[in-house]
Amino acid sequence: MVTLGCARNEVDSEELAGRLDAAGWELVDDDAEVVVVNTCGFVESAKKDSIDTLLAVSGGDAKVVAVGCLAERYGVQLAEQLPEAAAVLGFDAYATLPDALTRILSGERPDSHQPGDRRRLLPLSPVDRGAVVERLALEPGAIDIGLPGHAGGPAVVRRRLGDSPVAPLKLASGCDRRCAFCAIPSFRGAFVSRRPSDVLAEARWLADHGVRELVLVSENSTSYGKDLGDLRLLETLLPELAVVEGIERVRLSYLQPAELRPSLVETLTSTPGVAPYFDLSFQHSSASVLRRMRRFGDTDRFLGLLAQIRTASPTAAVRSNVIVGFPGETVADVAELERFLLAARLDAIGVFGYSDEDGTEAERLPDHLPPEVVAERVHRLTSLVEELTAQRAQERIGEIVEALVEAVSGDTAEGRTAGQAPEVDGSTTLTGAGAAGLAVGDLVRARVEDSCGVDLSADVVGVVTPARAGVAA
């Protein structure tokens, strides 16, 4: 099983691995009969990585099967351009993947997935949609409702594919927003929340399998609960997740600034065990660019939101992504974005150059910028944010932090603080006399002594909670 792309894909792969394991398949590191590649189809570079990976694993005797977002988004087209693949399967095939692989090994070639707009698979009314979810969940054997990884009951169908003390946990699938640059809703579908009982059951299962930090993922976490009749359901669920036995930290990701309500800010900054961490999708700060993106806000509103967060928790961490070079972006728009970044004091920032995505509104907008202009602006903003985030890390020197140990080498260890999400943010090197004898999964207190870019170095002053012994592998 090869997984590409985001944490949501990681969850899908572990659910597929669970289904295969339950059907008697054995997952191996090499000499496989079948290689399942869970692809990413988000942006051009991710699509290329997916295709390159499919080609790279197609050289041997193993049958190669493409699943995931690229397979869902392009289906038959991908199959025609990649005859090396034994099958290209969409999300609807997930529930019966073990049977499909058996047929593939016997020489069959399943029909390739026919792409369609997945937003049309469920009613767009949140009230109607919630009724559909409840009805399908109650039907005997109901598993798939057009959503990858959706289970109809609290039973957990998942197998861990690694031994990290951190694991993603999916809150919802799909998105109802219509950002002009984003194709995700068309192939991930309309927004559907998982029921709290399902989320809690999976959290307990993950804790029993060695997980100490839950990273809650979805396409838009601030929308959680709207289709279940309670938009503030997240404020109830987060404290319940934080007290699951064995879980030391709960981290919420993928937040929309326009939907970040005061009650959620309070929950994120005041609940023991919930990281005061804000993964805010600003994308830009010029009001005119944001309107063309079909988004909301501006520099001053965003700075006001950050002020609210830091009033509640002065050491809260904030990360974001920005897109530069959007059609019609002017020199003044870039200057406005720089004004925001200079004032925002963000801990981590991803800078992306705009590129057209198939089927999006932005693809059809006038005033596209030349590629060399986009590249120059990416370089300029990247240089700025590298300096700004390094300064922000320096401001952390002297803070007492709690870090979760993820790797140990001799008398030093690597971990992450509440302000550092896996893969997208920096990490913390743990040193000093207290670092000797640490184990993966330990939660420690440490004093930040130095920084390098976004990474921190901290001396361990004590163990908060040691790694748990005797949990399932």
- The pLDDT value given to residue 76: 93
- Over residues 431-451, mean pLDDT: 94
Q: pLDDT exceeding 90 applies to what percent of the chain?
A: 75
- Predicted confidence at residue 217, as pLDDT, reads 96
Mean pLDDT, residues 432-446: 93
Cβ–Cβ < 8 Å for 252, 268: yes
- Residue 383, SS3? helix
State the pLDDT at residue 145.
34
The pLDDT value given to residue 327: 98
Q: So what's the pLDDT on residue 46?
A: 75
| Residue 155 in this model has a pLDDT that exceeds 90 | no
Mean pLDDT of 261-277: 97
User: pLDDT at residue 122 above 70?
Assistant: no
Assess whether pLDDT exceeds 80 at residue 451: yes
Q: How confident is the model at residue 283 (pLDDT cuts 50, 70, 90)?
A: very high
Q: Which pLDDT does position 142 carry in this prediction?
A: 36
Which DSSP letter does residue 256 get? -
Q: 185: closest CA among 151, 237, 147, 149? A: 147
Percent of the chain predicted with pLDDT > 70: 91
Question: What pLDDT score does 156 carry?
Answer: 80
Stretch 279-288: mean pLDDT: 97
CA distance 421 to 175: 22
Mean pLDDT, rounded, for 209-237? 94
> What is the per-residue pLDDT for 135?
53
Q: Which residue has the tokens 């090994």?
A: 105
**Mean pLDDT (whole number) for 209-224:** 96
Q: Which two tokens mark 316? A: 């809260």
In sequence order, the β-bridge partners of residue 34 are 63
| 21-74 residue pLDDT tens | 999 999 999 899 999 999 998 777 778 888 888 888 887 889 999 999 999 999
Looking at every residue in the chain, the average pLDDT score rounds to 90
The pLDDT of residue 308 is: 97
Look at residue 66 and give its three-state secondary structure: strand
Which residues in 263-294 are b (16+ Cβ under 10 Å) and which e?
ebbebbbebebbbbbbbbbbbbbbbebbebbe
Candidates 285, 264, 288; CA nearest to 274 is: 264
Positive/negative CA dihedral, 116, 147, 157, 151: negative
Q: Which of 123-127, 172-176, 403-407 has the highest mean pLDDT?
A: 403-407
pLDDT bracket for residue 148 (50, 70, 90): very low
Amino acid at 277: Y
What value does the mean pLDDT take over residues 227-247? 95
pLDDT at 139 over 80: no
Residue 341 confidence (pLDDT) above 70: yes
Give residue 118's pLDDT: 79
Going through 238-397 in order, the beta strands assigned E by DSSP cover: 249-252, 277-279, 317-324, 348-353
**pLDDT value, residue 429:** 97
pLDDT of residue 134: 57
User: Under DSSP, is residue 310 helix (H, G, I), strand (E, B) or coil?
Assistant: helix
pLDDT digits (tens, 9 = 90+) for 95-106: 899 999 999 999
Both tokens of residue 103? 């047929």
Q: What is the mean pLDDT of the segment spanning 74-86? A: 92
Confidence of residue 245 (pLDDT cuts 50, 70, 90): very high
357 closest CA partner among 45, 54, 112, 10: 45
